[in-house]
Structure 1
């Protein structure tokens, strides 16, 4: 069952395994997936292979040598009992975690993203022999073009593969263009007569979509498998412990009823003053003042509003009410309404776009007319000080925040902003503006409810 170190996990594992080992290998895999997420967020400017190297380094540091060797595998040179055991544990841990997350939408989405990244990074380890083994084992009929064929279209291959240093020594595969739409979108392959010519360095793009389809289609069976074990306390306990070990702090709880019941369109002005992080407060204020935001600001703020639970219809009303103060409704519908529906997954690829993380916001490219990005990183110091003054901060408070901003401690500056605004101590830096918002609303809600209870007790 295990002829290759890299698997597509299409078959159900068979055989026996002790429950202690089952829990241990699944906990180890969760540690690996958590590291995958952390490295992905911290190393956005790195290539796939560079992130893989960073992951392997972290795994050795954590003592997860078995998985580190598996991820670093370039080809399957041996099939010893140890090799088979490692591949089997990889297979079982992946398969069981599918069932662990199957009933939780957000944790399932987290698992899907990290497993896809891990597959892509592992694929980057394979050399030509390892890739050919993988293709043969999984019945992928992608054959490399001959040297004569390469010579006939060499000029076009060079134009489309400018990132490839040596065309002559590079192997190219002829595949249906529909298999590599992401490469076509990035203008990285030559297409002729419905076929794409993919350099070996980009071949992972042919298999990642296939892996995604397998994973998506597997969750229904995973739910059934878990449901069958509901009466077995041994498994329900293990599954519950594993699910509790999945921390999705970078995934927004869009359906957080504790927050949503206090959010409506007519409350945004007040919430922007009390509970918005400064990046979103600046965008809201600019929208109200200028009745317009540039592309980056529209996307950043629109996804934030989606994350706090504002519906598509309400967001459309907000944008239309503001934009039509400087343009007619026809222009708005033609130039801007599509983008709002796109952000909510109602147009284009219909993806479930998530609100931006703080790291993504900090990585934004910001121009002179833009209001998006991170104020603590992108704003000029005098403008930042004016914003803080407008928030009601005194000179000492402004100085504390701006000193952190000047030192490049942008998250710490945001945290200090929160602490001063809420008159509290917060020991965990925010990684997401929507998490900031949720915590702020809860803070105000619980504080006011506490005051009500004290009043009732007094009476």
Structure 2
């Protein structure tokens, strides 16, 4: 059994004297189905239950991510409905109940129990991801989406209770006040079907800057008049800031548990259950700031994975790529920070060497804008993972796909010769390719190119690119390979 104490994370680093809770105390602590998770959980919980509720929450967050990526054209409320259906299918009825809740009308023992499990599972997972930047970012994204979807279930009473509980002093305007500015509310909120039946809240304008930028709210005397359907724009940024500020304490809390083998085991299992291979993460600023259009040739030589190097070289040589190659390479460029305007310049400069500008504008410019989410369904299309690239259908005129899987061996060897690899290096990579170990072949390509040992296979070309740029940046600034790399290289040569 673990007990919680405010000084530590969940405060499970120490076993405290059991705390007796009266229903009134727990009811006061959990008065609403939606929480900001600002307070530390108190009381006791069995270790088995702790692991179970955290694993369940990870399943929920994984579903949130999957639905977000598959249902990009749906509204928040529509995605929430899909999520609730999936949760019922999976038998995760507690979360389905929380996500559909209009607020806080019911306060049964079961309600309090479910709210507490929600609180504890969120709080523990903060510390699970605290030391892994990629998984922390994944957790942050999914929790923010989940909060937004849950908020969309709240009715007016639920919203007002949520504001009161969390000390948000935003005033719903009276009917007479609404009548005085009705014309302005209709102009600023054309998406609101019935102004008379819609609740509006007075909010200091700086709380809804995103709505102000989009001109979706009426402002008077420094206050924005926010319709109930947009009030989430007030609380989601606040929730994000709360979550971001919590991670530093979560790191410290987890560090305090390193001597307790039970929690080491639980945390390791939970962290291993977070799979982010299919998630495209916003690139690190230290990588993005080095990327510009005139550096692509250099990066294709130093930091591109072979799949993207082949595409870039073919584009420069043939001034054309087939549809599959255009999509694969364009999304990769988007992922490393190339803007739509720069991408359009690149494709136009190359294609107009074999066709006139009118033909390019007619047949190809739309696709570039589409890939960047500016045409068609306007989805935020993400760069392809290695798995998706390996699953590509490749024809004789194509250059896309995975070279280690799709290229003929003699052509692959020519590419490796062009990269400057010697016979032994080429043989090592090609043997892995022949044996179907495509990811291992790509990893070996990286190790040889960067003169280092890499113990984690790449599952995304943009991750490969980021790691390569970081490696070269370190080498350029320090004038030598990191000492850890040196030891790894020595170990590698001894073992091989």
The Cα of 1:281 is off from its aligned counterpart by: 4.0
- Answer yes or no: is 1:304 the counterpart of 2:340: no
- State whether residues 203 and 225 of structure 2, in contact with CA within 8 Å, keep that contact through their aligned partners in structure 1: yes
In structure 2, the CA distance between the partners of 1:253 and 1:239, relative to structure 1 (3 Å rule), is farther
Unaligned runs of 5+ in 2: 1-28, 285-294, 321-326, 350-361, 376-392, 410-432, 440-457, 468-491
In structure 2, the CA distance between the partners of 1:49 and 1:400, relative to structure 1 (3 Å rule), is farther
Report Cα offsets for 1:124-170 as digits up to 9, x if no partner: 01111111111111111111111122112111111111111001111
- Answer yes or no: is 1:398 the counterpart of 2:423: no
In structure 2, the CA distance between the partners of 1:124 and 1:441, relative to structure 1 (3 Å rule), is closer
**1:62 match:** 90
**1:90 match:** 118
In structure 2, the CA distance between the partners of 1:414 and 1:58, relative to structure 1 (3 Å rule), is farther
In structure 2, the CA distance between the partners of 1:103 and 1:183, relative to structure 1 (3 Å rule), is same
Report Cα offsets for 1:394-444 as digits up to 9, x if no partner: xx952898xxxxxxxxxxx9758884237766999xxxx9814668999xx
The Cα of 1:304 is off from its aligned counterpart by: 3.1
Structure 2 distance, partners of 1:422, 1:399, is: 11
In structure 2, the CA distance between the partners of 1:368 and 1:155, relative to structure 1 (3 Å rule), is farther
In structure 2, the CA distance between the partners of 1:212 and 1:422, relative to structure 1 (3 Å rule), is farther
User: Of residues 193, 197, 215 in structure 2, which corresponds to 1:165?
Assistant: 193
Unaligned runs of 5+ in 1: 256-262, 290-295, 307-314, 327-365, 379-395, 402-412, 443-452
Structure 2 distance, partners of 1:143, 1:253, is: 37
- State whether residues 98 and 219 of structure 1, in contact with CA within 8 Å, keep that contact through their aligned partners in structure 2: yes
User: Of residues 429, 435, 456 in structure 1, which corresponds to 2:460?
Assistant: 435
Structure 2 distance, partners of 1:272, 1:284, is: 14
The Cα of 1:187 is off from its aligned counterpart by: 2.1
Q: TM-score, normalised by structure 1?
A: 0.65
The Cα of 1:75 is off from its aligned counterpart by: 2.4
Report Cα offsets for 1:54-85 as digits up to 9, x if no partner: 11011001110111111110122221111111
The Cα of 1:31 is off from its aligned counterpart by: 0.5
Q: Secondary structure at the match of 1:98?
A: helix
| Structural mapping, 1:57-206, within 5 Å | 57-206=85-234
Structure 1 distance, partners of 2:179, 2:335, is: 51
**1:246 match:** 274
User: Of residues 27, 37, 42 in structure 1, which corresponds to 2:65?
Assistant: 37
In structure 2, the CA distance between the partners of 1:189 and 1:287, relative to structure 1 (3 Å rule), is farther
The Cα of 1:178 is off from its aligned counterpart by: 0.7
Structure 1 distance, partners of 2:71, 2:309, is: 24
The Cα of 1:285 is off from its aligned counterpart by: 4.1
Q: TM-score, normalised by structure 2?
A: 0.61
- State whether residues 106 and 251 of structure 1, in contact with CA within 8 Å, keep that contact through their aligned partners in structure 2: no
Structure 2 distance, partners of 1:418, 1:157, is: 59
The Cα of 1:185 is off from its aligned counterpart by: 2.0
Q: Point out the structure with max Rg over C-alpha.
A: 2
| Structural mapping, 1:242-281, within 5 Å | 242-249=270-277, 250-252=279-281, 266=298, 268=300, 274-276=306-308, 281=312
- State whether residues 275 and 441 of structure 1, in contact with CA within 8 Å, keep that contact through their aligned partners in structure 2: no
Structure 2 distance, partners of 1:46, 1:170, is: 23
Report Cα offsets for 1:95-129 as digits up to 9, x if no partner: 00000011111111111110000000000011111
Structure 1 distance, partners of 2:87, 2:212, is: 34
Structure 1 distance, partners of 2:261, 2:305, is: 49
In structure 2, the CA distance between the partners of 1:270 and 1:14, relative to structure 1 (3 Å rule), is closer
Q: Secondary structure at the match of 2:89?
A: helix
Q: Secondary structure at the match of 1:212?
A: helix
**2:407 match:** 421
Q: After the TM superposition, which of the residue ranges 191-200 and 43-52 deviates more from structure 2?
A: 191-200
The Cα of 1:92 is off from its aligned counterpart by: 0.2
- Answer yes or no: is 1:219 the counterpart of 2:247: yes
Structure 2 distance, partners of 1:55, 1:105, is: 26
Report Cα offsets for 1:25-70 as digits up to 9, x if no partner: 0000000000001111111111111111111011001110111111
- State whether residues 283 and 297 of structure 1, in contact with CA within 8 Å, keep that contact through their aligned partners in structure 2: no
| Structural mapping, 1:319-334, within 5 Å | none
- State whether residues 217 and 225 of structure 2, in contact with CA within 8 Å, keep that contact through their aligned partners in structure 1: yes
User: Of residues 337, 360, 365 in structure 2, which corresponds to 1:369?
Assistant: 365
Structure 1 distance, partners of 2:203, 2:275, is: 39
> Number of paired residues?
346
